[in-house]
Amino acid sequence: MERIVCAVAVGLLIGCGGATPPSPPPPPTTGVIGLGLNVGNTAIQQGNSTPITALITRAGGFTGAVTLSVEGLPAGVTATQSGETTSGTTTTITVTFAVGLGATPGLTNLILRARGSGVADAVASLGLTVTTAPIPSYGITVTGSPLTIPQGGNGQMALTIARNAGFAGSVALAVEGAPVGLTTSLTPTATTGTSATLTIIAGASLAAGTYSLTIRGTTVGLADQLAVIQVTVTAVTASGEARFDFSTCGTPFVIWAAYRDGSGAWTPVDGPGGLYRFSIASPLAAFAYVTRPSGSSVTTTVVHFMTRAEMSVGPIVFCPALPLNSKIINGSVTGLTGQQAVLLNLGGAFGNPSVLFPTYTVAGVPDGDRDLVAYRFAIVPAATDRIIVRRDLNIPNGGSIPPLDFAAAEAVAPANANLTISGTVAGEALGHEMYYLARPSCDRGLLYPVSSSASSTPIFGIPASTQRADDFHQLKISAAAGPTSRSVTQSFHGLVDRTVTLGPTLGAPTVTSLGGGYKRLQASFGFPVDYTAPVLFRYLQTTGVPRFVELNATPAWFGTTAAVLAMPDFTGVTGWLDTWAPGAALAARWTILATGGDVTGSACREGFRFIEATATGTN
């Protein structure tokens, strides 16, 4: 018998008979990665950043992870990777290069390197150029220069602040070089915006001529910017004839009158037929008179301080003839529940029916076609209330309006919007009133009042589908804090969200008594140039028969925004009686009122704005 012997060699197993030898080792890998960029060069300004896209590809059977790095970054430049996505064998990465403001301008050749395990690195070149950032700056330009105004006149210029290279800082504004008698005021005096308004008042005694002024802008870190403007003040040389017309005021009304030319003596003047005429030669003048309505013992002493130009511009008419409002209209309402009531306006005449008193009478309705606006409310306006608007009513005197049914389809839900009140001062109590102005005649009627408002509050009015093109809402906002108050009134057609800004506050007044045979008060205070209408200082005797004093002065007469108003001493002037004025030893309650904005013209226009500021006290 034959014996079969199997041998074992070191590291090798030799099979016997039909045994299979082991498989050979696999061949070495041939995997590779590639790297591509969407740009070969990029330029980035100091302070900015730019993204590029890196595309990593895999081939030759390689499927492993790949990392990306950036080599050669200069100081002040960073590279941030984001948005990595992989689809199959391709990976996309966004690389954002951020250049600091301190990075050195110039070209740097960067290397982007992709690395994977077991494969050779892939590289791509990127030329990065850092460019110099423009220096932030600003400039000031002025529209309206040169400005020509008469002695005692005023005017405005518009400032534009051009901001460059991202400059967003606050710019402080000031006017330099204004002579005494030329008052300037900037609104605002510092701004992060792009505009401001310069108001200029020429005193009546300022010498005629051309004046150069400089507007200076100042901000931290940048050079001051200057704008030179010119103001030409023209002389008012001719003697002015003043005419004050009381001919429609009834008889007797004015019981004494006098005028003062410049700083001269007070001169009594007669007014045949209620027309008072006199000539003014000085730049400044004043006219005083005492009124006492027929059958009354109440007297009011009024003094107007004006420039010659203002006083002689034309007749100043008091008690103008008013249209005859003689119609009395009746009516009734239904569809009211609980404590609901109605504010009703017909041609500006007012009615206030309620659940308890559903019938009403409206007196003083003007003749002709008029619109009726009625607003149902419950204590305060609410979104569930209803409005009825009826157009083109011309009901005869003593006639009746067809019943107003607030439960019927004629009554519609009011429009609503949000009001933001800007310019408030800490501690002020806010309130607002909404009016509606109808027809070209601008008939004004109250929709609702709110005695206590927040700085952001809902408002209600007439829906757009019910309005006519010549209708306007009018919103009056009041703000009060102790003895001072402010208000702003604005008109607008559509009821939409809006921000309304209050006017500036008055300077704190100082009121003193000058002594004499009657109460002579003097008020010193500041009034911003926003208040362009005559300033009123009014006081009255609070005991016994009422005695009133009203002192009115125009901003041009002051020639400055630092006001001093004093009751003149008329003692010894022919015809004057001390008993017409408040008693020297009696308490007097006083009010200072400044007004501005749209003080003339119709309120029935988009953007109408009227502002007031008051201060009150007792001396």
Task: Evaluate whether 151 touches 285 at the Cβ level (below 8 Å).
Answer: no
Which has the closest alpha carbon to 488: 614, 615, 613? 613
- Please report, rounded to a whole number, the percentage of residues in the chain having pLDDT higher than 70: 93
The residue-averaged pLDDT of 152-164 equals 88
Instruction: List domains and CATH numbers for the chain.
Output: 32-131 (2.60.40.10), 137-234 (2.60.40.10), 240-317 (2.60.40), 327-405 (2.60.40)
Could you read off the pLDDT of 100-157 as tens digits, one per residue? 989 999 999 999 999 999 999 999 999 999 999 888 899 999 998 899 988 877 788 9
pLDDT at 348 over 70: yes
pLDDT value for 2: 40
Beta strands in 270-382 (DSSP E): 275-280, 284-291, 299-307, 316-317, 327-334, 341-346, 349-351, 359-365, 370-377
pLDDT value for 116: 94
pLDDT at 58 over 90: yes
Tokens, residue 421: 């009140």
pLDDT at 23 over 70: no
Average pLDDT, the chain: 89
Q: What's the CA gap between 103 and 77, in Å, rounded?
A: 7
Tokens, residue 497: 């969200």
Phi, psi for 451 (deg, rounded to 5) = -75, -20
pLDDT at 8 over 60: no
The residue-averaged pLDDT of 478-486 equals 94
Helix (H) or strand (E) holding 604: none
Q: Which is more confident, 15 or 394?
A: 394
Least confident of 12-16, 47-51, 203-207, 352-356: 12-16
How remote is the C-alpha of 16 from its chain's centroid? Answer: 106
Task: Evaluate whether 15 touches 22 at the Cβ level (below 8 Å).
Answer: no
pLDDT value for 55: 96
71 confidence band (pLDDT: 50, 70, 90): very high
pLDDT value for 152: 76
Could you give the C-alpha distances from 127 to 18, 43, 111, 131, in angstroms and in order? 67, 8, 9, 13
Q: Which is more confident, 243 or 599?
A: 243
Q: Kindly report the pTM of this predicted structure.
A: 0.66
Could you read off the pLDDT of 411-443 as tens digits, one per residue? 999 999 999 999 999 899 999 999 999 988 899
The residue-averaged pLDDT of 161-172 equals 92
pLDDT at 612 over 90: yes
Could you read off the pLDDT of 244-257 as tens digits, one per residue? 999 888 777 899 99
Q: What's the CA gap between 14 and 18, in Å, rounded?
A: 10
